Amino acid sequence: MQALTTVAASLLVFAVALGGCTETQQTTMKGGMVGSLGGAAIGAIGGNAALGMSVGRAAGMGAGYIYSKSKEAVE
């Protein structure tokens, strides 16, 4: 339950921080938010939600950055 509270607080902080960011930064941060949520859920099943959240955030941010850059290349 504490992991979900941590995730909710992280999402709130990231949402506020996204206000003045460029599109690439926003997509990267959104990917991190989704990744941390998914990682926390998978990590909770495995017994270590904090590790899952950290790994998921890193993977999500990487995926969001790559997606944003590929989208910019098309435009």
User: Is 2's pLDDT higher than 70?
Assistant: no
Domain spans in the chain, listed from the N-terminal domain onward: 2-74
How much is the pLDDT for 48?
87
Q: What are phi and psi of 22, to 5 degrees?
A: -75, 175
pLDDT, tens only, 12-54: 776 666 566 678 888 888 888 889 888 888 888 888 888 888 8
How much is the pLDDT for 65?
92
Residue 63 binned pLDDT confidence (cut-offs 50, 70, 90): very high
Which token pair is 6? Answer: 């941590």
Q: Distance from first CA to last CA of the chain, Å, rounded?
A: 43
The angle, 0 to 180 degrees and rounded to 10, between the axes of the packed helices 23-46 and 2-17 is: 180
Give the Cα separation of 14 and 43 in Å (integer).
21
